[in-house]
């Protein structure tokens, strides 16, 4: 059984097909990177998993359960999402924001248990935000706030972590830390990523979304060729091999008239 399964998902908004007939299976423990140009449909695809959007046809299953057939609360025990549009206008402290990640696990109205507090403290340590615990969330910088929201997603202890551009606002140190922490949790991760070099380093599989359809699915070293990058993004590139890990790494060059891969170049 797949951890996440899209079965013929079509999303129509105001009569326009934003996603067309998307099918995809993500195995338990896999780190799937969803890549593709701006406006291609990555966020829309992700929103169907955490029920921010209902497909017009087809469905999404988590651990074999259709996400629309279970309660929001039950879905939230399985899926945590870091979204692009998370805005919190209340004067919550960072620790209070993280604590909301435990709500799906608590009985209605029940107080936080010792374990809830332990999980939140560990999540804040993993995201490196313990020092912001008492800060009002809205006073944090973009990167600090992003890490608090990541801590909240970790505190939710989901089987499936949905990350929509998780490295937005993060400096390079925190990009490594957060993607490494997501991978290190051993859960299934589905992440929309713009940074193809980070995607190559952390993702086991990539799904490429082009104009509302999943154009291809495969491991980074198969998909991240110069020819594909030119086709998907209209940018030339040299693709080299990371000297330590062996994964593809991309040096973009908008002046390269025709994309060349390392093999073609040598």
Ligand X SMILES: Nc1ncnc2c1ncn2[C@@H]1O[C@H](COP(=O)(O)OP(=O)(O)OP(=O)(O)O)[C@@H](O)[C@H]1O
14: left (phi over 0), alpha (psi -120 to 50) or beta: left
2 or 17: CB nearest ligand X: 17
In sequence order, what DSSP letters do the residues of 221-261 get, joined into one string? HHH--HHHHHHHHS--EEEEE-TTT--EEEEE-TT-SS-EE
Place of tokens 């998909």: 223
Q: How many residues bind ligand X (CB under 6 A)?
A: 11
Minimum Å distance from CB 74 to ligand X?
25
Task: Map residues 93-132 to x or -, x wherever contact with ligand X holds by CB under 6 A.
Answer: ----------------------------------------
Residue 31 burial (C-beta neighbours within 10 Å; 0-12, 13-18, 19+): buried
Stretch that binds ligand X, among 12-20, 70-78, 109-117, 139-147 (CB under 6 A): 12-20
Minimum Å distance from CB 83 to ligand X?
11
Task: Return the residue of 4, 6, 24, 44 that touches ligand X, per CB under 6 A.
Answer: 44
Residue 84 burial (C-beta neighbours within 10 Å; 0-12, 13-18, 19+): middle
42 or 61: CB nearest ligand X: 42
36 part of the interface to ligand X, by CB under 6 A: yes
196 part of the interface to ligand X, by CB under 6 A: no
Quickly list H helices, the chain: 42-47, 72-78, 94-99, 114-126, 142-155, 172-184, 196-202, 220-223, 226-233, 262-265
Minimum Å distance from CB 10 to ligand X?
13
Stretch that binds ligand X, among 38-46, 123-131, 143-151, 154-162 (CB under 6 A): 38-46
CB-CB contact of 197 with 220 (8 Å): no
33 part of the interface to ligand X, by CB under 6 A: no
**Residues forming the site for ligand X (CB under 6 A):** 13-14, 18, 36, 38-44
């Amino acid at each position: 059984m797949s951890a996440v399964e899209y079965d013929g998902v079509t999303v129509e908004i105001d009569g326009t097909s934003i996603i067309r007939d998307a099918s995809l299976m993500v195995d338990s423990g896999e780190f799937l990177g969803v890549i593709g140009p701006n406006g291609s449909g990555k966020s829309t695809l992700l929103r169907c998993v955490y029920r921010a959007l209902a497909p017009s046809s087809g469905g999404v299953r988590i651990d074999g359960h259709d996400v629309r057939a279970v309660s929001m609360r039950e879905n939230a025990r399985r899926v945590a999402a870091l979204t692009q549009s998370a805005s919190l206008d209340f004067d919550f402290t960072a620790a209070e924001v993280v604590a909301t990640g435990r709500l799906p696990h608590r009985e209605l109205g029940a107080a936080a248990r010792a374990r809830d507090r332990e999980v939140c403290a560990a999540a804040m340590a993993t995201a490196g935000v313990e020092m912001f615990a008492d800060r009002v969330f809205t006073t944090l910088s973009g990167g600090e706030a992003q890490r608090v929201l990541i801590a909240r997603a970790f505190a939710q202890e989901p089987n499936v972590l949905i990350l929509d551009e998780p490295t937005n606002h993060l400096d390079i140190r925190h990009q490594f830390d957060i993607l490494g922490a997501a991978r290190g949790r051993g859960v299934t991760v589905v992440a929309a990523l713009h940074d193809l070099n980070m995607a190559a380093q952390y993702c086991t599989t990539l799904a490429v979304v082009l104009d509302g359809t999943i154009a291809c699915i495969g491991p980074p070293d198969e998909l991240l060729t110069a020819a594909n990058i030119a086709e998907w993004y209209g940018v030339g590139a040299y693709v080299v091999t990371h000297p330590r890990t062996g994964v593809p790494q991309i040096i973009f060059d908008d002046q390269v008239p025709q994309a060349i891969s390392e093999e073609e170049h040598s």
